[in-house]
């Protein structure tokens, strides 16, 4: 178990992502909030003190509900029976809660199936629904999508994104930058049991040190792009003059966000027309960071008012004569762009 040394006030009503390599203390952090483990210190949610120097509330006394990587359903009960288990302990539950949760999570058809007969993805869906049925002050999600096949993972990501819009406070532990980019409003990066960085998701993705846990995932999330063309899954989305080609099923007219990693952006002086790379965007260099400990520089770019990052070697940076104000073209492979609805 990792040592934990955390002192942080986090926003409520949003999804807080906790990211870090394995052994960084993410799960320990979550378990300490839930009371499943006891670490010295104070845990306070809104105005309720769950633990301090004098008192320690047991997990069942804390209005937190936890979803673990293993769904932890009661195998002998049906889907409805599992939800009823949570509702039984929820003092604020109103009549009709069971049916509305079954409806919200698309579980009406599975209602009378025994939990042990469900697929892994279905079990985790029930586990998330069950935690929501407890109507907790904070929903704790510990790698809930890890170990699922890609189809189930995508389906549950949609479920979690819908859930996020209800304004529930959740803490989402995951070592997947992809999931974090999609779900986290506020991102906490943990390293060696301490918080290495904490802030809005966009700022953390843009400002993380390349040597940090998020290093290779560093990049930008560009929101509010409008799909203007979509031919069999290859789409062009635009915001003002910025046009980006990507693979997405989003139909024409819909809004998408995209994540562009610094590692996937290359720079060229002149636009190359004989390249497989479809996205060539004129940019202006707006910042440059050279890190002595790595052979790479991080170049901050302005593309029609949108910020982009490119990570290139220090040598390439010198050859291109990059400095603040220099104009060049950013190339991004369409295949490297992750689009979110």
| Contacts with other proteins, residue ranges (CB under 8 A) | 34, 36, 58-60, 62, 64-77, 85-86, 89-90, 115-116, 123, 127, 130-131, 134, 140
Cβ proximity to other proteins, 59 vs 199, nearer residue:
59
Cβ 59 to other proteins shortest distance, Å: 4
Residue pair 31/173 in contact by the 8 Å Cβ criterion: no
Cβ proximity to other proteins, 64 vs 102, nearer residue:
64
Residue with tokens 């910020």: 307
Residue pair 194/8 in contact by the 8 Å Cβ criterion: no
Of 109, 110, 106, nearest in space to 118 by CA: 110
Of 337, 332, 231, 323, nearest in space to 286 by CA: 323
Of 165, 167, 173, 169, nearest in space to 190 by CA: 173
Cβ 70 to other proteins shortest distance, Å: 4
Residue pair 178/19 in contact by the 8 Å Cβ criterion: no
Cβ 62 to other proteins shortest distance, Å: 8
Cβ 89 to other proteins shortest distance, Å: 3
Cβ proximity to other proteins, 65 vs 267, nearer residue:
65
Cβ proximity to other proteins, 61 vs 211, nearer residue:
61
Of 251, 279, 253, nearest in space to 266 by CA: 279
Cβ 72 to other proteins shortest distance, Å: 3
d(CA 169, CA 171): 7
Cβ proximity to other proteins, 134 vs 190, nearer residue:
134
């Amino acid at each position: 178990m990792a040592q934990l040394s955390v002192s942080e006030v986090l926003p409520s009503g949003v999804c807080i992502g906790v990211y870090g390599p394995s052994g960084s203390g993410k799960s320990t952090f979550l378990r300490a909030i839930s009371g499943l483990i006891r670490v010295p210190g104070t845990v306070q949610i809104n105005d309720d003190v769950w633990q301090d120097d004098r008192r320690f509330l047991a997990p069942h006394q804390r209005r937190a509900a936890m979803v673990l990587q293993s769904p932890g359903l009661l195998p002998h009960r049906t889907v409805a029976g599992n939800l009823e288990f949570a509702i039984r302990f929820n003092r604020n539950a109103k009549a009709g809660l069971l049916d509305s949760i079954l409806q919200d999570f698309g579980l009406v058809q599975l209602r009378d199936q025994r939990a042990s007969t469900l697929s892994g993805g279905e079990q985790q869906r029930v586990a998330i629904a069950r935690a929501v049925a407890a109507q907790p002050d904070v929903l704790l999600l510990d790698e809930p999508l890890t170990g699922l096949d890609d189809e189930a993972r995508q389906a549950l990501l949609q479920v979690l994104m819908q859930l996020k819009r209800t304004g529930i406070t959740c803490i989402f532990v995951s070592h997947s930058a992809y999931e974090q980019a999609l779900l986290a409003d506020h991102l906490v990066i943990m390293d060696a049991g301490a918080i290495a960085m904490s802030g809005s998701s966009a700022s953390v993705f843009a400002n993380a040190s390349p040597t940090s846990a998020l290093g290779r995932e560093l990049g930008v999330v560009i929101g509010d792009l409008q799909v203007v063309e979509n031919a069999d899954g290859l789409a062009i989305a635009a915001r003002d003059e910025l046009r980006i080609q990507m693979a997405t099923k989003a139909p024409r007219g819909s809004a998408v966000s995209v994540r562009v990693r610094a590692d996937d952006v290359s720079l060229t002086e002149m636009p190359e027309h004989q390249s497989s790379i479809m996205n060539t965007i004129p940019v202006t260099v707006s910042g440059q960071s050279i890190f002595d400990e790595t052979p790479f520089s991080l170049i901050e770019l302005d593309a029609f008012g949108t910020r982009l990052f490119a990570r290139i070697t220090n040598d390439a940076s010198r050859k291109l004569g990059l400095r603040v104000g220099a104009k060049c073209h950013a190339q991004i492979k369409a295949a490297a762009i992750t689009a979110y609805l």
